Amino acid sequence: MAVLLVFALPGVAFAGTQAKKILITSTKQISPSVLKKLKGANGTPGAQGPSGGAGSIGPAGPAGSAGKEGAKGTNGENGISVTSKEFAGKKEKCEVGGSEFKSSSGTTYACNGSPWTVGTLPSKKTETGTWSFGGGVTGFLPVPISFPIPLGAPLDGTHVHVVKEGETAPEGCVGTYEAPTAEPGYLCVYVGTMGTSELFKNGLENPETPGIDPGAGTTGALLVFKESGGVGFGTWAVTAP
């Protein structure tokens, strides 16, 4: 837009005539110092306009490159199925046969039970018990010692012993009244107390023989006192040969 400015030229006299108008169409026609004076003050700010609407969603960025494929793992070992087989005789903790089981976790064994169904005490196995009597008896007093599991054969008089506290332990009988033991092929009777009683001979007789000879039968023995007084009690142990 052209700006029309009218200037009065200094030093110029006008007589009865209208001043001459000069048309200025560009700020370049105005002296810079004059132009500065023509600049007006800033107006007051206008009211804030309404917020613009949400812009449209921009296009999706390019997909990232795929990562490198990991290294292939090693193949695992083949599993081992559980296998089993029976065996006879002694193996590991089994004495009379059993079954052997193998798996990936190792080998284990299931033992057969002791063959006591035959009715006799197995070789080198021990059974124990107690005996007692009370009251005074005149004459002989037999106190039975019964084996819950019979022996396979009787024991003679050299393999049965009565052990009193404080005496030297006889052969095959090294236990005590509190912990009775017997070596294989021996019956050992341990005395806790026998009052004032006295044993008849070696004290142990085999009731399975006609004459009740010294020793022990397959089912037990008799602890025989020739005189008894007070109370008597103790323990016993027998081990199969």
pLDDT digits (tens, 9 = 90+) for 147-195: 999 999 999 999 999 999 888 889 999 999 999 999 999 999 999 998 8
| Better-predicted residue by pLDDT, 141 or 67 | 141
Please give the Cα distance from 157 to 104 (Å, whole number): 56
Domain contains 88: yes
Domain contains 57: no
Say if residue 99 is in the same domain as residue 188. Answer: no
Contact yes or no for 147/220 (Cβ under 8 A): yes
Domain contains 9: no
Say if residue 89 is in the same domain as residue 133. Answer: no
Q: Which domain holds residue 208?
A: 126-239
pLDDT bin (cut points 50, 70, 90) of residue 14 is: very low
Predicted confidence at residue 1, as pLDDT, reads 45
pLDDT surpasses 70 at 122:
yes
Say if residue 138 is in the same domain as residue 204. Answer: yes
Say if residue 139 is in the same domain as residue 212. Answer: yes
pLDDT (average), residues 6-11: 47
pLDDT digits (tens, 9 = 90+) for 45-87: 888 878 878 878 888 878 878 878 888 888 877 666 778 888 8
CA torsion sign for 66, 71, 72, 73 is negative
Last residue of a domain, one of 92, 113, 134: 113
Say if residue 100 is in the same domain as residue 138. Answer: no
Q: What length does the chain have?
A: 241
Predicted confidence at residue 16, as pLDDT, reads 44
Predicted confidence at residue 3, as pLDDT, reads 45
Domain contains 184: yes
Say if residue 218 is in the same domain as residue 133. Answer: yes
CA angle 22, 24, 28 (to 5 degrees): 135
| Better-predicted residue by pLDDT, 210 or 233 | 233
Domain contains 75: no
Say if residue 136 is in the same domain as residue 201. Answer: yes
Regarding pTM above 0.85, the answer is no
Say if residue 210 is in the same domain as residue 176. Answer: yes
Predicted confidence at residue 95, as pLDDT, reads 77
Say if residue 135 is in the same domain as residue 219. Answer: yes
Say if residue 177 is in the same domain as residue 89. Answer: no
Domain contains 23: no
* CB-CB neighbours of 14 under 10 Å: 10
